[in-house]
Amino acid sequence: MKKIMIILAALAVVACESASKTSSEESAMVATNNINQESSEMEKSFYDFTMTDIDGNEVDFSKFKGKKLLVVNVASKCGYTPQYEDLQKLNEEYGDKVTILGFPANNFGEQEPGTNDDIKKFCTSNYGVTFPMFEKISVKGVDKHPLYRWLSDKSLNGWNDQEPTWNFCKYFIDENGELKHFFQSSVNPMDDEIIKLIEA
């Protein structure tokens, strides 16, 4: 009986070691997959993104090759919301040199609570917006959209770790798809520094 107990104990130890080894192997595989996924993301350029516009259409960002871009996270109930007027003015005066991309987000003070239809109606009826607008996304936090992960992670974009601090932050991308500048919300779309980048 004693021998049987010793044999059973030995088998239990072997089984535990095997399970532990399997668990370690699985953890290693998960870690490797995560690294591979991060590596894949690091190789992604701005032009590799495809996103849904505010009307539900897929937009391939490769169409923006050779164009300067101003990427802005927007909101309808913010103190900076009147910047829509200046963004539209920028679009009308410099639309042949820069394309504005608007990304509604509800990350700051829940100031973009509406649906995509609500947002579109608000922008067009109040500010006559004609520049490209996209569906509502998250621009910070655990659910941050991959585009904004690219914009705010220097391992992806080359230099910048700054994510939006509030609504109407602006990222300027040159005609080669390279992120060149980040502007805080307080910088007006018609600011001289932005105009100089556009005209350079």
Residue pair 169/183 in contact by the 8 Å Cβ criterion = yes
Residue pair 133/120 in contact by the 8 Å Cβ criterion = yes
Token digits for 50? 């495809």
Other beta carbons within 10 Å of 47 = 15
Residue 55: its H or E element: none
Name residue 58's amino acid: E
For the question of residue 78 being annotated catalytic, the response is: yes
In three-state secondary structure terms, 103 is: strand
Q: φ and ψ at 172, to 5 degrees?
A: -105, 125
Q: Which among 99, 173, 178 is positioned nearest to 131, based on CA atoms?
A: 99
* Residue 182 DSSP class: E
Active site residues per annotation: 78
